[in-house]
Amino acid sequence: MLNITKRFPGIVANDNITLQLRRGEIHALLGENGAGKSTLMSVLFGLYQPEEGVIKKDGQVVQIKDPNDANALGIGMVHQHFKLVECFSILDNIILGVEPCSHGFLQKQSAREKVLALSEKYGLQVDPDALVEDVTVGMQQRTEILKMLYRDNEILIFDEPTAVLTPQEIDELMQIMKNLAAEGKSILFISHKLNEIMSVADRCTVLRKGKYIGTVNIADTSREELSRMMVGRDVEFVVHKEPAKPKEPILVVEGMTVASKLHNNNAVKDVSFTVRAGEIVCIAGIDGNGQTELVYGLTGLEPLVAGKITLCGQDITHAPIRQRSLLGMSHIPEDRHKHGLVLDYTLEDNMVLQRYFEPQFVSKAGFLKRKAIRDYANHLIEQYDVRSGQGPVTVARSMSGGNQQKAIIAREIDKDPELLIAVQPTRGLDVGAIEYIHKQIVAQRDAGKAVLLVSLELDEVMSLSDRILVIYEGEIVGELDPKTTTAEEMGLYMAGAKRKGA
């Protein structure tokens, strides 16, 4: 990609960027949220047309007008927010657009055999008949990768592929990427996670605010050097916090059971725990062990089969979502597109989604106070460094994933909640933003708030939490102290090999 420039209203997303990919290499693309990484890859995949610059493949200039052109050139992409049809099966999603037909009839059997052979070869276990809406995020990721392999693509773009995976799945994915590169496929790997880049990439290109900073050989660099190139300053990788001083219970959960949408069993089984003011309790586990349903039950997105939830001394087991919010519950959701934002609203309207009815934002006659909403949004945008092309009037859909995440975190923490439920709060954020968000979460704790953190990032769990509850198959199987436990011990609990009292 030579001298690529791509502009959007109010912003130059890619400013004269050159990127060269060799056959059989894993090339990492690193940069802050909104640095232009996904935009650059979308240009390569034909989703955007650049204003300037050319793309060459095997020495020839090529025109990529849409993803079909990209596929024809052997370029495939796994997007940060998956492009899957939720009501289709995994098999149907993989063959969509390249369906094997004979005399006008769909030949699914041959496709199924090819998919199963690929999943066996690369260790990407999937159930081809499961509906996408019913499977875990990790399974959706595998579906996207199989979609590329099914099309025999030779240039594979992974956009933040590990943002939603467990540590074990990440190790598997790294191995899969190495195997693919060893077969002569070329991989472009967008990531914020410096450890992953150091362990798997051959070379790394760094972007900052839409500009090209440089390309380095991984063998000759360090995490600190990469983070300095990316953020433009030194970043602290350690969370500094005082010991917790827990006070009265804020959230009390007794015998909570939540049904599963996937099968007849319950996803959460008779779970009881307490979160007190001034502590961070983390629920750790491998994706798909009931964390999602647990949070849905607490926040009112799903009804309980049994059990009782008390917030600040009030029974909220059957309370509507707004009442839970008004009682002091904030929720940073796992799926920012589905439950975090109204994507076609502006940033300022998203910032007041749960507060627009408060006197400061609405007149007695019921009209929204537009200036108050804008001032409030501008205050949060500045405080949390939410970057967008047109400030508060930017449509949420057009923002980068990391900046969408920052907007949600700003809104939820600024409500000054008694209980902050943070699910994967730093998913898809760069090191600078993660450092800031971790400080905010610790500040909430130190201000006497209760924090319930749900995270798949072992490092985050170990460094942020005061107590760790491990969930396995819908049950709490262990309570660990991060000061005395190890990642290995936690892994045993997470895999179900160890239980408390066993």
Task: Output the DSSP codes for 354-398.
Answer: TTTTSTTTB-TTS-B-HHHHHHHHHHHHHHTT---TTGGGSBGGG
Distance between start and end Cα atoms, the chain: 57
Secondary structure in 3-state letters for 278-330: CEEEEEECCCCCCHHHHHHHHHCCCCCCEEEEEECCEECCCCCHHHHHHCCEE
105-134: average pLDDT? 85
| Domain at 2-231: CATH architecture | 3-Layer(aba) Sandwich (3.40)
pLDDT at 208 over 60: yes
Element (H, E) at 111: helix 108-122
Structure tokens at 151: 């099309």
Candidates 3.90.1150.10, 3.20.20.70, 3.40.50.300, 3.10.180.10; correct CATH number of 237-328+417-502?
3.40.50.300
Q: With beta carbons less than 8 A apart as the criterion, state whether 33 and 433 touch.
A: yes
- pLDDT of the residue at 369: 94
Per-chain mean pLDDT for the chain = 88
| Highest mean pLDDT pick, 69-83, 98-112, 157-171, 323-337 | 323-337
Cα–Cα distance, 76 to 175 (Å, whole number): 19
Greater confidence (163 vs 446) lies with: 446
Which element (helix H / strand E) includes 476?
strand 475-480
Q: Which two tokens stand for residue 261?
A: 């949408």
- Percent of the chain scored above 70 by pLDDT? 98
Residue 276's pLDDT band, with cuts at 50, 70 and 90, is very high
The gap from C-alpha 104 to its chain's centroid, in whole angstroms, comes to 40
Section 142-161 average pLDDT: 87
b/e per residue 219-230 (b: at least 16 CB within 10 A):
eebeeeebbebb
- In angstroms, the CA 357 to CA 302 distance is 24
113, containing H or E segment: helix 108-122
Locate 271 and state its tokens.
């779970």
| Triad 178, 121, 166: Cα angle to 5° | 60
pLDDT at residue number 165 = 66
pTM tops 0.75, yes or no: no
Cα gap 293→305, rounded to integer Å: 12
Q: Give the mean pLDDT of 228-240.
A: 77
Eight-state DSSP code of residue 275: E
Highest mean predicted confidence (pLDDT) among 29-38, 309-318, 435-444: 309-318
Q: Left if phi > 0, otherwise alpha if psi is -120 to 50, otherwise beta: which for 10?
A: left
- pLDDT at residue 427, as a whole number: 78
Residue 237 in this model has a pLDDT that exceeds 70: no
Which amino acid, 492?
L
Instruction: State how far Cα 363 lies from the chain centre.
Output: 37
- Residue 81: DSSP 8-state: S
Contact 37, 207 (CB under 8 A): yes
Fold identical between 2-231 and 237-328+417-502?
yes
- Segments making up each domain of the chain, as ranges: 2-231, 237-328+417-502, 336-416
Assigned token pair, 229? 């190139």
345 three-class SS: coil
State whether the Cα torsion 436-341-80-460 is positive or negative.
positive
Tell me: pLDDT of 502 over 60. Answer: no
pLDDT band at 177 (very low <50, low <70, confident <90, very high): confident
Q: Is 90 exceeded by the pLDDT of residue 468?
A: yes
Joined together, the tokens standing for residue 484 give: 């005395």
pLDDT at res. 11: 79
Tens of pLDDT, residue by residue over 84-112, are 888 999 999 888 888 888 888 888 888 88
Q: Is the pLDDT of residue 164 over 70?
A: no
- Residue 219: strand, helix, or coil: helix
Mean pLDDT over 381-399 rounds to: 89
Q: Are 395 and 312 in contact (CB under 8 A)?
A: no
Phi-psi sector, 83: left (phi>0), alpha (psi -120 to 50), beta: beta
pLDDT at res. 485? 87
Token pair in block for residue 237: 């990788």
Residues in the chain: 502
